[in-house]
């Protein structure tokens, strides 16, 4: 079997596919004995964080609310852009102001919220066994 090299036009296509955006998650948990909740923190800093994301090259971001707090998922095409945004004074001030700065802040790569699935799962097809008629009681 003979292997042919890829044409130059196709190499560019594959490179573009590999340059997919990286997602980062900022998880803010509610504090037990704090006067502010994670939802209140979001309300206070959402606009400032969104503006800084727009001006610093984020390709997408999304907020999620959970029973334990909030998650901000941020997408950048380059890790360098993420680091620059993370080093901004406004970003640092917002993260310093979370309800529990010691144990209530997680920053990590990937989707957050303790969920492995980014897109909700579709409903499963019910098993065929529930279609069987049961005998009527006498």
The model's pLDDT over 76-121, given as tens digits with 9 standing for 90+, comes to 999 899 999 999 999 999 999 999 888 899 998 887 665 555 555 5
For 106, residues 6+ apart whose C-beta sits below 8 A from its C-beta are 25, 26, 27, 29, 112
Architecture of the domain made up of 29-112: 2-Layer Sandwich (3.30)
Dump pLDDT digits (tens) for 26-84.
Answer: 999 998 877 889 999 999 999 999 999 999 999 999 999 998 999 999 999 998 999 99
Q: What is the pTM of this model?
A: 0.67
d(CA 108, CA 27): 9
Strands (E), 30-89: 60-66, 69-76
Judge contact between 56 and 85, C-beta under 8 A: yes
């Amino acid at each position: 079997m003979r292997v042919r090299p890829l044409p130059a036009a196709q190499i560019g296509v594959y490179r573009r596919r590999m340059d997919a955006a990286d997602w980062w998650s900022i998880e803010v948990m509610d504090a037990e004995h704090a006067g502010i909740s994670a939802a209140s923190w979001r309300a206070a800093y959402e606009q400032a964080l969104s503006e800084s994301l727009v001006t610093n090259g984020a390709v997408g971001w999304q907020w999620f609310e959970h029973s334990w707090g909030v998650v901000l998922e941020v997408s950048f095409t380059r890790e360098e852009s993420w680091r620059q945004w993370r080093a901004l004074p406004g970003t640092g001030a917002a993260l310093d102001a979370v309800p529990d700065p010691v144990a209530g802040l997680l920053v990590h790569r990937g989707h957050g919220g303790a969920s492995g699935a980014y897109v909700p799962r579709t409903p499963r097809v019910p098993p065929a066994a529930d279609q069987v008629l049961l005998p009527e009681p006498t």
